[in-house]
Amino acid sequence: MKELASLRLDSDELEALRLVDMQGLQQVEAAKQLGVSRQTLGNIVASGRKKVAQALVQGLALELDGYMPTP
């Protein structure tokens, strides 16, 4: 089996996607939980979504950068 090329999804991107896309939080609430501005959270979410889409379309593996889920 050949090794897949990969993209690294930073832990803040993964956590932002989890809060917004999986838990359904509004960006304002997710930003509060992460201790960032709503604009910064929006940028993090957009970056994470782009990486996930790129991995799906191009058949790349996603590497998770030190992700530790919050309870």
CATH code of the domain containing 58? 1.10.10
Range list of H helices, the chain: 11-17, 27-34, 38-58
pLDDT greater than 70 at residue 68:
no
> Range of 31's domain?
6-65
Which band of pLDDT confidence, cut at 50, 70 and 90, is reported for residue 24? very high
24, two tokens: 């359904």
Q: Which tens digit of pLDDT belongs to each residue from 26-51?
A: 999 999 999 999 999 999 999 999 99
Q: Global pTM?
A: 0.85
- Distance in angstroms (rounded) separating the CA atoms of residues 63 and 65: 6
pLDDT at residue 17 in the model: 97
Residue 70: inside a domain, yes or no? no
Residue 40: inside a domain, yes or no? yes
Phi, psi of 2 (to 5 degrees): -80, 155
